[in-house]
Structure 1
Amino acid sequence: MKIAIIGGSGFVGTKLIDTLSVSPETSVINIDKQPSQTHASISVIGNVLDPDSLSHALIGVNTVVLLAAEHRDDVSPTSLYYDVNVQGMQNTLEAMEKQGVKQIVFTSSVAIYGLDKDNPDESFPADPFNHYGKSKWEAELVLQKWAQNHPDWSIGIVRPTVIFGEGNRGNVFNLLNQIASGKFMLIGKGNNEKSMSYIGNIVAFLAFLINTMSPGVRVYNYVDKPDFSTKDLVHHTSTILGKSIPTLRIPYWLGMLGGYGFDVLAFITRKKLPISSVRVKKFCAITKYDSSKAMESGFQPPYTMQEGLRRTLASEFGK
């Protein structure tokens, strides 16, 4: 089997290539607009916005994993979300059809459900609150429409929650770094539960889907359980690091006021700042999702949440 990872130079793609390359029966190529620092020998430059280069790169491929996306909170102009995430999906499907590739795994996002929802499963209606979530949902609709006219295609859609792990520099790392440094500021009461996915488990699930694909469309949330509240994360991090971590608490309204202040500052300076009203809102929101379908599919996560957190802290903070 020859697998093409589109957008594989980033954190998830690099770990997925590591996982897939273990099998001697599998060959992997990485198609990305950015060179891979880890897998340069199997990488080619390609872009979902360039159908010709994409089609050429897919010659001889059996399965595509589409990871490429605009996902930051502060992408500008916002049209880039739709250019890359939606039109990029259409371009990928057309390139696949041109080369006779009929299997695709697409990483969407739980962002399609919106914030503060009641533990949504895959049947829950989409209600995205930002351009990232909206564009991911529109990309899913493109894929679902395509499937109606291509019943012999095998299509997997995975909606991961926030992903953390060794080497990641995303929101969870920033949170753990603040907690570990003792400079953590808790906004609100900290009882909001936040579903998370450990990198070792999400790439194992993607590999599981690739190896069990069949015609039709399968949609899965991916979440590692149990869900930790913000206070839980502080407690577990404190225990694993073996240190008492002081926590400054401020009211939610004050945190949002500060976020709006940073929005204004970012607008004036034209700089991307680490704090914004959107990030404060997401930090304080309940982001809890149901992953029963994935866990009943026959997949067994190789790591528990506690193990994932321990491995991440050991890698980043030497504990």
Structure 2
Amino acid sequence: MKVAIIGGSGFVGTRLIDLLASTGHDLLNIDKNISEKHSEITVIGNVMNKDLLISQLQGVELVVLLAAEHRDDVTPVSLYYDINVQGMKNTLEAMESIGIKRIVFTSSVAVYGLDKSNPDESFPADPFNHYGKSKWEAEQVLQEWYKEHNDWNVNIVRPTVIFGEGNRGNVYNLLNQIATGKFMMIGNGNNQKSMSYIRNVIAFIKFLIEEKNNGYNVYNYVDKPDFTTNDLVHHTSDILNKGIPTTHIPYWLGMLGGYGFDMLAWISGKKLNISSVRVKKFCAVTQYDSTKAMSSGFIPPYTMEEGLKNMLKEEFVR
């Protein structure tokens, strides 16, 4: 089918395009940035330009909405709501105007908030930051839309933190610190961290496109088993075949340092890699239930250990 990916020039989108193209789908990428790998199918645009969406989505049968503001330090904070919420409204209105009735939306487990008890899809939303709040508002827009458009097919994926080869996000930064011996453990390291391997995430999105073409469906996406931070250090040590010393510092001291970096960022006007929000997220239990996705008929092509090994060997073995 003809599939439009909105926001397909980033980490997830680039790999999703590769996978869908390999199985014969006709693809279009709409993104504010040109895709280095898929420039021939990329149109420069964004979700704030509804007229462009209407003109470019002609003939499309399904939309995958990846576009989002997702960093912890986006300024002004109104951008989260402009892109993540108003962008959803613009996309739905553009789709309706030309008769597209299928959408896959990548939301986030951030809608649940921090330190929750293994929430499944029925768990109440309680986001703690603007990213999570804006993703939840976007989901609410979809919920209200479906009430008046129940002949549509809506699939929502709430992935946890995504890692994999080529990623330069929080998991990469953590593994890089562990691999280079510069890692300092904040807290006891027993907090569990649900994670998702990129090749499994895109395979699940492909599964939804090809197999789940009816109704309104919401899925957490998590690859199991959940690792603790101590587990990550242990597996990294084994895979790289090196002893990795760790220094533990108390949580309160880590948060104090985070606030210090917040102040430094405010004074300097620069975005720094350390902040109180990132310390809080690092030490939080981020464990989520993925029973629904794993009982949907989808089989992840890779285990967590395989995904971690693939990433570590590509990024850190020379």
TM-score, normalized by length of structure 1? 0.99
Residues 180 and 238 in structure 1, CA contact (< 8 A), matched pair in contact too: yes
What is the correspondence of 1:278-289 to structure 2 with a 5 Å cutoff?
278-289=277-288
Residue-by-residue CA offset, 1:194-220 (whole Å, 9 max, x unaligned):
000000000000000000133320000
Corresponding residue number in structure 1 for 2:77? 78
Q: Give me the whole-angstrom Cα distance separating, in 1, the residues matched to 2:270 and 2:121.
A: 37
Name the aligned partner's letter for residue 175 of structure 2. Answer: L
The reply on whether 1:163 has 2:162 as its aligned counterpart is yes
Find the counterpart in structure 1 of residue 226 from structure 2: 227
User: Deviation of residue 161 (structure 1)?
Assistant: 0.1
1:155 and 1:213 in contact (8 A); partners too: no
Q: Deviations over 1:231-273 (max 9, x none)?
A: 0000000000000001011000000000000001111111101
Equivalent AA in structure 2 for residue 4 of structure 1 = A
1:150 is aligned to 2:165: no
The equivalences for 1:192-271 within 5 A come to: 192-271=191-270
- Distance (Å, rounded) in 2 between the aligned partners of 1:239 and 1:180: 11
> Which residue does 2:275 correspond to in 1?
276
Q: Please report the RMSD computed on the Cα atoms of aligned residues, expressed in angstroms.
A: 0.7
Q: Deviations over 1:168-213 (max 9, x none)?
A: 0000000000000000010000000000000000000000000013
Give secondary structure in 1 for the equivalent of 2:193. strand
Does structure 2 conserve the Cα–Cα contact (< 8 Å) formed by 1:151 and 1:215?
no
* Letter in structure 2 aligned against 1:5: I
Whether contact under 8 Å (1:198, 1:305) holds in the other structure is yes
Q: What is the distance in 1 between the residues matched to 2:237 and 2:54? A: 49
CA deviations 1:116-154 (Å, max 9, x no partner) are 000000000000000000000000000010001001100
Q: Which residue of 2 aligns with 1:36?
A: 35
Q: What amino acid sits opposite 1:252 in the alignment?
A: Y
2:185 & 2:243 partners in 1: Cα distance? 15
Partner of 2:301: 302
Partner of 1:132: 131
The one-letter amino acid paired with 1:260 is Y
**Is contact 1:160–1:222 with CA below 8 Å preserved after alignment?**
yes
Stretches of structure 1 that go unaligned for 5 or more consecutive residues are: none
Partner of 1:118, secondary structure, is coil
Unaligned runs of 5+ in 2: none
Deviates further, 193-202 or 50-59: 50-59
- What is residue 185 of structure 2 aligned with on the other side? 186
> Does the 8 A contact of 1:46 with 1:57 survive in 2?
no
Q: Name the CA distance, whole Å, in 2 between partners of 1:266 and 1:115.
A: 24
1:47 aligns with 2:46: yes
CA drift of 1:105 comes to 0.2
CA distance in structure 1 between the partners assigned to 2:38 and 2:213 by the alignment = 29
CA offset at residue 54 of structure 1?
A: 1.1
Q: Distance in 2 between matches of 1:3 and 1:262?
A: 43
Contact 1:147 1:216 in 2 (8 A): no
Paired with 1:203 and 1:286, the residues of 2 have a C-alpha distance of: 25
Q: Which residue of the partner structure matches residue 67 of structure 1?
A: 66
Which residue does 2:10 correspond to in 1?
Answer: 10
Write the letter of the residue equivalent to 2:250: P
Opposite residue 185 of structure 1, the aligned amino acid is M
Superposed displacement of residue 57, structure 1:
1.1
Distance 1:303 1:310 in 2: 11
Structure 1 ranges of 4+ moved more than 3 A: none
Residue 54 of structure 2: SS of its match in structure 1?
Answer: helix
Structure 1 contact 163–197 (Cα < 8 Å) conserved: yes
Name the aligned partner's letter for residue 12 of structure 1: V
Which amino acid in structure 2 is aligned with residue 19 of structure 1? L
Single out whichever of 208-217 and 162-171 deviates more from structure 2: 208-217
Structure 2 length normalisation: TM-score? 0.99
Query: What secondary structure is seen at the aligned counterpart in 1 of 2:219?
Result: strand
- 1 CA distance for matches of 2:207 and 2:144? 25
Distance across 1 between alignment mates of 2:255 and 2:178: 20
- Give the Cα separation in 1 of the matches to 2:190 and 2:61: 45
Whole-Å separation in 2 of the counterparts to 1:207 and 1:215: 15
Once residues 162 and 22 of structure 1 are traced to their aligned partners in structure 2, the CA distance between those partners, rounded to angstroms, is 25
Paired residue type of 1:18 = D
Q: CA deviation at 1:8?
A: 0.2
The residue identity in structure 2 corresponding to 1:176 is L
